[in-house]
Structure 1
Amino acid sequence: MLVMTRFVVPEGDDGFAERAHAALAALAACKGYLRGRLGRAYDDPKHWSIVTEWESVGAYRRALGNFDVKMYATPLLAQALDEPSAFEVLAEAAPGGELKVTSSDRA
């Protein structure tokens, strides 16, 4: 499962990166977390994203109930753009590898 959360950070909010680091660390400590990254747009430095991967949607939802996630990630996630952020992975390919396609779990 892939979670892509995007932010538009006003100029002068010098603490955003530090808060994002704390949020990412809190998420990373949760069971089912696979990997995550904080990114900033090259073309417009006000635009940031946090991308995380999880074993399942259940693991991600359980992580949102974790105390440290509530303390460090939830306030940051409240600043995110109001758009879908959780995605099921339907295809993937490693460098030089074959494309692996999976079917949707959606009913």
Structure 2
Amino acid sequence: MLAVIRYTVPEAQSQGFAKQAEVILDTLAAQPGYLRGRLARSVDEPNLWALVTEWEGAGFYRRALSTARMEMYPLMILMVNEPSAFEDVLVQDGA
């Protein structure tokens, strides 16, 4: 399953945001069921960021969020309020 948490980050906060997001990814990566993760920034809207992770299942993701809550708390004010968990319907690898 895919988890996408988007953030709206003012330019003045982008460097600190990226450092805190790395701490969050490190915490999530240590949790059972974690497959991979990345921090991405929109090429069209530089204030829009996404923390994207992949998990073996939704239960793993939800339990990991509980563990990472303290690291995520300082960035919650920047989160875009929208669903973040997506179930794979079709996966296709590149050639």
TM-score, normalized by the shorter chain, greater than 0.5: yes
Whether the 8 Å contact between 1:24 and 1:73 is mirrored in structure 2 is no
Which aligned runs of 4 or more in structure 1 are off by greater than 2 angstroms?
Answer: 73-79
In the other structure, the counterpart of 2:35 is: 34
Q: How many residues align?
A: 94
Gaps of 5+ in 1: 97-107
d(CA) in 2 for partners of 1:3, 1:91: 15
Q: Give the alignment's Cα RMSD to 1 decimal.
A: 1.3
CA displacement, residues 50-103 of structure 1 (integer Å, 9 cap, x when unaligned): 10000011111111222xx1221343345310011100000011113xxxxxxx
Q: Which amino acid aligns with 1:44?
A: E
Partner of 2:61: 60
Aligned identity (percent) is 48
Task: Report the CA distance shift for 1:88/1:78 in structure 2 as closer, same or farther (over 3 A).
Answer: farther
Q: Does the 8 Å contact 1:27/1:73 carry over to 2?
A: no
Looking at structure 1, the residues matched to 11 and 48 of structure 2 have their Cα atoms a distance apart, in angstroms, of: 10
Q: Provide the residue aligned with 2:82 in structure 1.
A: 83
Deviation of residue 39 (structure 1)?
A: 0.4
Structure showing the higher helix proportion among its residues: 2
**TM-score normalized with structure 1 length:** 0.80
